[in-house]
Amino acid sequence: MVIVFFGPPGSGKGTQSQELGKTIKDLIHVSTGDLLRQEIASASELGHRLKSKIEAGEFVTDDIIVQLVSGILRKNVKKDIIFDGFPRTLQQAIAFDTLLGVENLKVDVVFDFDIDVHVVIERVTGRYMCLGCGAVYHKKNKKPKVDSVCDQCGGIRFVERKDDSVDVLETRLKIYQEETLPVKKYYGDKGVLKRIDASLSPDEVTCFIKTALLEAGLIRRGE
Ligand SMILES: [Zn+2]
């Protein structure tokens, strides 16, 4: 079974990969970032080229990513694999189908982790500010002593704090969403795209994924 997890950073793909790993025995999790890191760590010729490219701030081409994925597929024939963050471009998606075709495989299901840019930003940054005095809190790391009441001024109105890193993240997410539209359309036309409301709780998302896999006959009840 070949599953693709598709979604921006902060959409919960990593958490869901781990959850699914508990359900499906010997599930292999492949993320593009890990593939790149492993290749660089292996000190292969390609690894050296990748290292200099990344250090120079150059874009890693589709060809290289596809080459790495091809290696993974050859090493894991007949295993269940989640591809996390791949394919990300239409070119990668088409090349992926060719690779899978060689092994008599296909993409069984693509989960599209759909999430509002602002929810991601909130999750990734989590910082908010008291409107009364400007004291800064964080949803996980630094909550007020009394829930929703400012420690310093007793204020109860807060606003998400915006800074440069948030702007950068916002831009990246917007580009991500525009870039990935053709890939979504590609899998939508093939009838394998399943939209997930990734703003739901992790448990709800896990439940949704399992139900979809059950309905598609990809896993059995009790798994
Ligand atoms: Zn305050």
Q: Looking at 14-18, 170-174, 199-203, which range is the least confident one?
A: 170-174
Report how far ligand 1's centroid is from the alpha carbon of 150 (Å). Answer: 5
Report how far ligand 1's centroid is from the alpha carbon of 137 (Å). Answer: 10
pLDDT at 164 over 60: no
Tens digits of residue pLDDT in 70-100: 999 989 888 999 999 899 889 999 999 999 9
Question: How many angstroms separate the Cα of 63 from the Cα of each of 58, 70, 96?
Answer: 14, 10, 11
Report how far ligand 1's centroid is from the alpha carbon of 138 (Å). Answer: 14
Q: What is the pLDDT of residue 162?
A: 62
pLDDT at 56 over 90: no
Spell out the domain ranges in the chain.
2-116+180-215
Report how far ligand 1's centroid is from the alpha carbon of 166 (Å). Answer: 22
Count CB neighbours of 109 within 10 A.
19
Report how far ligand 1's centroid is from the alpha carbon of 146 (Å). Answer: 12
Residue of 187, 214, 205 lying closest to 18 (CA atoms): 205
Report how far ligand 1's centroid is from the alpha carbon of 153 (Å). Answer: 4
- The model's confidence at residue 172, banded by pLDDT at 50, 70 and 90, is confident
Tens digits of residue pLDDT in 113-133: 998 887 887 776 777 888 988
pTM, entire model: 0.77
Q: What is the DSSP letter of 146?
A: B
Report how far ligand 1's centroid is from the alpha carbon of 171 (Å). Answer: 30
Q: What is the pLDDT of residue 161?
A: 65
Q: Looking at 36-40, 121-125, 201-205, 217-221, which range is the least confident one?
A: 121-125
Please state which of the four CATH numbers 3.30.70.20, 3.40.50.300, 3.30.300.30, 2.40.50.90 is assigned to the domain occupying 2-116+180-215.
3.40.50.300
Report how far ligand 1's centroid is from the alpha carbon of 144 (Å). Answer: 10
Report how far ligand 1's centroid is from the alpha carbon of 129 (Å). Answer: 8
Q: What is the pLDDT of residue 99?
A: 93
